Structure 1
Amino acid sequence: MSESFSALIAQVKAGQSTVESLFAPFLGYEFFVLVEMDDAKQEVTTEDFQFYIIEMHDQPMVVVGDSMDRLGDVFAGNNQLSAIKVFGGDLLGMIHPDVGVCIVWEEGNIHFPVELTQQLRAAIQAADAEPSAEEQ
């Protein structure tokens, strides 16, 4: 993707685009996702991490960003945090169904509440269930 996800968010915040315009790019964009890891580990593997969860608007949220530096600035000082890179669509399949997504960007954050992540996950599952043209 030639445009950073932060640039897309800036367009939404400036009223030049709708929040809905973020959905398709989110699914195909590779984000850094904050994870908690065991102190003894030097690097994160899929077997030894948990998503870092924050409370936002009374909902649990995973924290993602398009820049590791930006995430590091926001969560500096927490030695148990690391990050993995995950595509947005894959992330929706990895997180608990009752968890939303907080996207950190240069001027703050934007979030996809639990209800929205559930709708996006359902849309992905429905699209995956449809037979492709080759299968018909």
Structure 2
Amino acid sequence: MTDTDSFPQDAAGWQRAAAGTLIERTGIVLTEVSAGTTRGTMPVAGNTQPAGLLHGGATASLAETLGSVAAQSHAGPGRAAVGLELNVTHHRGVRSGQVHGVATALHLGRSTAAYEIVVTDDDERRVATARLTCMLLDAG
């Protein structure tokens, strides 16, 4: 995105901005957005691998989306958050329902922001744990 002053500051605004993006295609819904904590959900249906399990890449997309939105909220107007590193540990498979993610800030600095993202199933069992580090850039 080039117009960093137009990044939304709330979940509804981010959902509107997601039209036509991977966020929309995977069915990710943001439910809370802040620099400290960002939450969202994603359906398993449509995001599976051939064996019928939630695709690890879809889980990674949920994690990176939540962490990046939180980092952008921290960066503020005129700045952009870009991913530097994402790692995901997958703990259990999921075949149906939704997965729920919570990105929690680990570090909110001037030039980087880091998040732990915990993904759970509908029964609140941990599906995956991710860590995302974003670099915060000045626009222009």
Give the TM-score, by structure 1 length. 0.25
Give the TM-score, by structure 2 length. 0.24
- Structure with a larger share of its residues in strand: 2
Rg comparison, structure with higher value: 1
